Structure 1
């Protein structure tokens, strides 16, 4: 299977997601939309991943790739290929499905527990810890199932069309290297300084085992998601 990944910021890339695809025998191409690369054609590839990107509104004047990407997302939603959005990408999918996207009450950064929704239908533990980096949140789209939530963000993701489409606010793909690059090169989400749900750098990077524990969660989620390609 060949997977297309759309990147929206130089330091918010695939991280462990690319390694997982390779280890499972899948090929992939990363399209650097932030660097001016055009997105793939709607019919290309077997699955599509929309990576994280800029915080704030989805704004075509500041994000020149957005108009083309929105058309690609609409075609993907109408088709039968798996579609996954993380952070910015999840907001883009939620918007295309008619859900409200807005600034949350608090910025949420670092490590926070997520409680799985009873109706999620996803193969994940009832409670797990995930990495967060956001202020923007979204409402549950019509006909979607909730992933579950954290204390600051009651909706940490959703599945749609029997799990073929996933939107994740949290980051299961994060590695120590990807978070280090994020901290060194990207501004903190707005309001992080005053948020009770924002961690400092030492807390984010202090325990490497946290990143190791994300790996089996990502494996479980992606394995379930890509099974839709063979359905």
Structure 2
């Protein structure tokens, strides 16, 4: 299977998503549309992963719009999609759901709570990395998957083969360091989780996050 990954900023890479793909023998192709303006074709995509970005789906940028055209095409072909943060917002936007400022800026570690048992074996509570101040509305027909204490819409499942998460399961510890040191001032401004970049790094990554990331991706491809 060919897993095409859209990476939008240097410090937010695929992390354990790439580990999952390699563990299953899948071929990984990483595109950088914000830098090079290139996207994969739908017919060369078996699964699409859309990662985080400092941009918003509301930004009037050619690559943002072109990315949504690809997402729509893949949704019509019932191919599995996974979106993290901006990626989830992009998927929601294609379905007519609004993306807007969240009631709280969440930057740091905080729990999310499972809202449906449709995906078997997921823990009821998981502590995850948040790095956002926008949020999506849940697309029509999608199931609410996770909520946090500050922002209700933290994840959705659409058509059983599309998952969007407002937070991040994918970073391993090196990835957290990379995110935090390169965007070190972002947690300091009106952050309702009240954590500094140094505290976010020192927290470490809960061991179960990698396992849950694998479970979610396994579920998506099992629905093909």
TM-score (norm 1): 0.90
1:140-162: CA deviations, max 9, x gaps? 1100000121111111110011x
What pairs with 1:1-231 in structure 2 (closer than 5 Å)? 1-61=1-61, 64-117=62-115, 119=116, 121-123=118-120, 124-161=122-159, 163-186=160-183, 188-189=185-186, 192-208=188-204, 210-229=205-224
Alpha-carbon shift at residue 186 of structure 1 (Å): 2.7
Between the two proteins, the alignment pairs up a number of residues equal to: 223
Compared with structure 1, are the counterparts of its residues 21 and 105 closer, same or farther at alpha carbon in structure 2 (3 Å cutoff)? same
SS at match of 1:114: strand
Q: Which runs of 5+ in 2 are unaligned?
A: none
| SS of corresponding position for 2:21 | helix
**SS state of the match for residue 72, structure 2?**
helix
CA distances 1:61-84 after superposition (whole Å, capped 9, x unpaired): 3xx311221110110111121011
Are the aligned partners of 1:59 and 1:66 in contact in 2 as well (CA < 8 Å)? yes
User: 1 CA distance for matches of 2:180 and 2:146?
Assistant: 26
Contact 1:91 1:167 in 2 (8 A): yes
- Residues 11 and 181 of structure 1 are in contact (CA less than 8 Å); yes or no, is this contact kept in structure 2? yes
- Structure 1: runs of 5+ lacking an equivalent: none
Equivalent pair of 1:3/1:46 in contact (CA under 8 Å): yes
CA contact (8 A) 1:120 1:148 kept: no
Distance 1:187 1:33, change over 3 A: farther
Q: Which runs of 4+ in 1 moved over 4 A?
A: none
Q: Tell whether the 8 Å contact from 1:107 to 1:192 is kept in structure 2 after alignment.
A: no
